[in-house]
Amino acid sequence: MLSDPSVTILMYFVLPVWFIAGFADWICHRATSIETASGVKESAIHALMWALGECARSDASPSRRRWAASPFAEALPAAESFRYPRSWAFTLLGLDAYCAAAAEDSAQTARVSVRVTP
C-alpha cells in the first residue's frame, strides 16, 4: 500500500501541510481575539456598509440611491475606529461605491482615506 505514490503523497505531504495550516490558523485566531472580532453581527454590519455603498452607486431608483447614501455617510465616521482588516476591507468596498455616487462628500471621504493610508 505504501508503494502507491498517491498514498505516499497524502501521508507525507498533504496531511502534514493540512495540520500545520490548521495549527497556524488556530494561532492567528487566538492572537486576534476572534471571539470579539467575528460572528454574525460583525459580518452583517460590514456587509451592510458594503451594500449601502453599492446601492448608493448603482440602484435603478434615485430615491433608493439617496436613501442608501444617507445612512452610509452617517456611519462612516465610526469606521475610523475599526481595528480589523476585514472591517476595513468591507468599508473600503462600500466607500469606493459611495464616492462614485456622492462626489460632493469629498471632505468626509478624504478624512477616512487618510486614516486608512499608512
User: 4-52, pLDDT tens digit by residue?
Assistant: 888 888 888 888 888 888 888 777 767 666 666 666 666 777 788 888 8
Contacts of 3 (CB under 8 A, 6+ apart): none
H or E, element range at 31 = helix 15-31
Please tell me the predicted confidence (pLDDT) of residue 110. Answer: 47
Assess whether pLDDT exceeds 70 at residue 106.
no
pTM of the model: 0.52
Query: Quick one: pLDDT at residue 14?
Result: 85
Whether the per-residue pLDDT at 108 is higher than 50: the answer is yes
Q: Report the phi/psi class of residue 109: left, alpha or beta, with left for phi > 0 and alpha for psi in -120 to 50.
A: alpha
Calpha distance 53→92 (Å, rounded)? 9
